[in-house]
Chain A
Amino acid sequence: MHRRAALIALAAVAAIAVLVWLASSGGPRAPQPQAALTEQAPTPTPAPEQRIMLLFAGGDGLLHPELRSVPLPAEVDERIRVVLRELLAGPGAASRLAPVVPYAASLEAVFIDEQGNAFVDLSAPPEPLAGSSTELLLAYGVVDSIILNCPEVKAVQILFGGREVATLAGHLDLSRPLALNKRFIAGS
């Protein structure tokens, strides 16, 4: 997969999302045909709840799993969105764990290429991060959480603010997709 193509595709996804949002939220709308009272509009079947495993930072500087039940769509890109939404929301209220992304990040876009590489675009940190431990837990917390719950994904590249970065804190090579790496999960 050419990363440049992935970035273009990400931009295209973002552009389409903006268009859809504009079309659905503003501007004059054509009158919609009324359905007959006797006919019920088909309601989408809610995604079945499934258990997912999320990885959060422990006080030992390693990743620790937390299980959570959430509606999980069938489409892989939607599943990635759900996993990342839950991951970015942080550990449960009673947990002693900490978020792996140590700032209020949001997921901007997701793209998957034909080789199974997922490209996820997170909002950039407000200030430089420090420490290889911080960098490793962020990267593999995201990468491993996605791949463990979406086996179709072979590797994940994290973009920040729509850009690929060589490294986030001066250590880990983030310039290409990272595969599952359980070395930083406690007990592995």
Chain B
Amino acid sequence: MKPKLTFLLTLAICCGTLSAQETTGALEFQFGERAVVAPRFGTKVEVVPVLELVGAEVTYSQAAGAWGVVLGEHVLQFATGHKVLLVDGTLHEAGEAPVPSPGGVAASLPYVERFLLSPLGLRLEPIAGGYRIEHGARFADPVTIRPAVADFGTTTTLVLTLSRAAAVTAVEGPGGTVEVRFADAAPQLDTSAPFRSRRVRSITRHDAELSIQLASGIGLLSWRSLDDPPRLTLELGPARPTPVPAPVQTLPLGDSGPRPIVLDPGHGGDDVGARSRDGLVEKELTLALARRVARALEARGYRVRLTRDDDQTRALTDRTALANRLDALLFVSLHANASTAPSVTGAETYYMSLDGPSDAAAAATAELENRAGQTAGEPTALDLILWDLAQAEVLNESAELALAVQGRLNALAGTRDRGVRQAPFVVLTGATMPAVLVEFGFLSNPDEARRLAEPEHQQQVAEAIAAGIEDFVGR
């Protein structure tokens, strides 16, 4: 059975009491001593009155075309016509989409309970003429699983990266399958990154389990649960006579430290980037600078991760994805610039541009949805919607971060201020945290390239970027 169909059926079963209430007219919702009447809109119900009843702040972002719900520490973001939503920064597939309505937005009762109230720790209980909203979510927070597979000589490693820590076990199932069971979470499968493997045929979701269909003669050799990021690693290979292995190692789940700052040394490997007349290469300069920034930040007590720590080719989308997987505090991509005009000098800092024709974005969404999962390495519909929903939310913070970093760079002697700008850069697309791209100087200008080659100047630039980051974090 397809995961989405399974999911919808699960919804229908779990919410059987809800469907009995689906009649025409308005529905009354009670919450504590208060009550509100929410109009029906077809088979759906107006969402805003229900959320405001429980004390949530509901806003609509024209720029992102998305609704935002804030209650306490919880932030939900969803958009009409989209079947995905962000729950506290994590993308979830809902299987259905809210629709525009006279009151702003309407959704089915299962959607309201499952995706809007459950994350707020609330559930619906049917009463005459409506529902009472009570504390205690009916559904555990879902966890999204992103699979990655690597075939080796006689074995295959399957890594299931989880969107959050969850109690999970793996056992061999019938018919050459491995079942991954979640004790306290509803798993959702991220299919935006397709994989190819000689030994893993498919991964499907059945309620609170993932079922991994293996090739003939292949079994589960071992598995382990790891943290940072939360993930399950399964070793697959020739089946053994004893089919149920014990876990090799189980590491404690949970936060292992403060959220890291992810630094991205631009380019790398085959992609050398810009090159100065004297042979200074951007990919080497960005790595050297990133290491200096990392040391400067670590000296200030921050935890830092680099998207690459040697001369390797990394896809732009993988860099942002790493920051998202690590739930990074910030994402800072470091670049050296080049212009066809050798006279151009200076530093500039970019953050994401969301502007563009809405019809073009919608068309791109539709087109991406059509080809989602077909080509590895290309953006998918989920990437685009993530960009729309998540980056819009952090856009103001990205602008503040850009201003803070640029302000410090401007204070460096001899560095021309080229300002803070917006552009739709690939490496910033889909970042769910404040994200900027720093162009710290022009290699095409001989004088500036010469300065950038000096270790003392590199250290000054690195200290300025680190100070700008600290200015933003401590604002």
Please list the residues of chain A having a beta carbon within 8 angstroms of any beta carbon in chain B: 1-4, 57-61, 98, 102, 115-117, 128, 130-134, 136-137, 154-155, 166-167, 169-173, 175-179, 181, 183-184
CB pair B363 A117 closer than 8 Å = yes
B374 shortest CB reach to chain A, Å: 11
- Interface-facing stretch out of B14-22, B204-212, B339-347, B397-405: B339-347
Q: B367 in the interface, Cβ–Cβ < 8 Å?
A: yes
Q: B467 in the interface, Cβ–Cβ < 8 Å?
A: no
CB pair B367 A2 closer than 8 Å = yes
CB pair A179 B357 closer than 8 Å = yes
The interface residues of chain B lying within 8 Å CB-to-CB of A132 are 335, 337, 350, 423, 425, 437, 439
Contact of A98 (CB < 8 Å), options: B316, B340, B355, B429: B340
Contact of B426 (CB < 8 Å), options: A116, A117, A171, A177: A171
The interface residues of chain A lying within 8 Å CB-to-CB of B371 are 4
Give A2's nearest chain B residue, CB to CB.
Answer: B367
What would 13 more interface pairs be, CB under 8 Å, given A154-B357, A155-B356, A177-B357?
A115-B357, A116-B359, A130-B273, A131-B337, A131-B443, A132-B439, A133-B337, A171-B427, A172-B425, A173-B425, A175-B378, A176-B364, A179-B360
Q: B462 in the interface, Cβ–Cβ < 8 Å?
A: no
The interface residues of chain A lying within 8 Å CB-to-CB of B337 are 131-133
Chain B, range 402-442, C-beta contacts under 8 Å to A: 418, 421-427, 429, 437, 439, 442
Q: B353 in the interface, Cβ–Cβ < 8 Å?
A: yes
CB pair B339 A131 closer than 8 Å = yes
Binary flags per residue of B358-391, CB closer than 8 Å to A gives 1, else 0: 0111011011001100000011000000000000
CB pair A167 B426 closer than 8 Å = yes
Which of A58, A132, A134, A166 has the most CB atoms of chain B within a 10 A radius of its CB? A132
Contact of A130 (CB < 8 Å), options: B282, B363, B379: B282
A184 and B340 alpha carbons, distance in the complex (Å): 15
Contact of B273 (CB < 8 Å), options: A133, A136, A167, A170: A170
Which of B271, B282, B335, B424 has the most CB atoms of chain A within a 10 A radius of its CB? B424
A58-B341 contact, Cβ under 8 Å, with A154-B357, A173-B429: yes
Q: B275 in the interface, Cβ–Cβ < 8 Å?
A: yes
CB pair B424 A173 closer than 8 Å = yes
A115 and B346 alpha carbons, distance in the complex (Å): 39
Give B384's nearest chain A residue, CB to CB.
Answer: A176
A144 and B207 alpha carbons, distance in the complex (Å): 51
CB pair B360 A61 closer than 8 Å = no
Give A176's nearest chain B residue, CB to CB.
Answer: B364
CB pair A178 B356 closer than 8 Å = yes
CB pair B316 A170 closer than 8 Å = yes
CB pair A61 B418 closer than 8 Å = yes
A61-B344 contact, Cβ under 8 Å, with A136-B423, A166-B426, A167-B316: yes
CB pair A154 B367 closer than 8 Å = no
The interface residues of chain B lying within 8 Å CB-to-CB of A130 are 272-275, 282, 338
The interface residues of chain B lying within 8 Å CB-to-CB of A178 are 356, 424
Chosen A-B contacts, 28 in total, with CB atoms closer than 8 Å, are A1-B367, A2-B363, A2-B367, A3-B367, A4-B371, A59-B344, A60-B344, A115-B357, A116-B359, A117-B357, A130-B274, A130-B275, A130-B338, A131-B444, A132-B335, A132-B337, A132-B437, A136-B423, A155-B357, A166-B426, A170-B316, A171-B335, A173-B424, A175-B379, A177-B356, A179-B357, A179-B360, A181-B423
Give B426's nearest chain A residue, CB to CB.
Answer: A173
The interface residues of chain B lying within 8 Å CB-to-CB of A177 are 356-357, 360, 364
A117 and B367 alpha carbons, distance in the complex (Å): 14
Q: B267 in the interface, Cβ–Cβ < 8 Å?
A: yes
The interface residues of chain A lying within 8 Å CB-to-CB of B359 are 115-116, 154
B123 shortest CB reach to chain A, Å: 41
A137 and B282 alpha carbons, distance in the complex (Å): 19
Give B333's nearest chain A residue, CB to CB.
Answer: A171
A61-B271 contact, Cβ under 8 Å, with A1-B363, A181-B355: no
Q: B266 in the interface, Cβ–Cβ < 8 Å?
A: yes
The interface residues of chain B lying within 8 Å CB-to-CB of A4 are 367, 371
A102 and B274 alpha carbons, distance in the complex (Å): 15
A139 and B421 alpha carbons, distance in the complex (Å): 16
Contact of B338 (CB < 8 Å), options: A1, A58, A133, A166: A133
A137 and B273 alpha carbons, distance in the complex (Å): 17
B376 shortest CB reach to chain A, Å: 13
A176-B335 contact, Cβ under 8 Å, with A58-B341, A98-B341, A133-B442: no
CB pair A102 B340 closer than 8 Å = yes
CB pair B273 A59 closer than 8 Å = no
CB pair B363 A170 closer than 8 Å = no
The interface residues of chain A lying within 8 Å CB-to-CB of B353 are 181
A183 and B350 alpha carbons, distance in the complex (Å): 12
A48 and B203 alpha carbons, distance in the complex (Å): 63
B342 shortest CB reach to chain A, Å: 9
B46 shortest CB reach to chain A, Å: 32
Give A129's nearest chain B residue, CB to CB.
Answer: B338
A175 and B363 alpha carbons, distance in the complex (Å): 12
A163 and B418 alpha carbons, distance in the complex (Å): 33
Give B425's nearest chain A residue, CB to CB.
Answer: A171
B330 shortest CB reach to chain A, Å: 19
A128 and B271 alpha carbons, distance in the complex (Å): 9
Which of B273, B350, B423, B444 has the most CB atoms of chain A within a 10 A radius of its CB? B423
The interface residues of chain B lying within 8 Å CB-to-CB of A171 are 335, 423, 425-427, 437
A-B residue pairs, 7 tightest by C-beta: A131-B338, A61-B344, A130-B274, A176-B364, A133-B339, A130-B338, A59-B343
A155 and B343 alpha carbons, distance in the complex (Å): 31
A158 shortest CB reach to chain B, Å: 13
A49 and B214 alpha carbons, distance in the complex (Å): 69
B282 shortest CB reach to chain A, Å: 7
A167 shortest CB reach to chain B, Å: 5
CB pair B426 A172 closer than 8 Å = yes
CB pair B338 A172 closer than 8 Å = no
A82 and B328 alpha carbons, distance in the complex (Å): 48
CB pair A2 B357 closer than 8 Å = no
B109 shortest CB reach to chain A, Å: 35
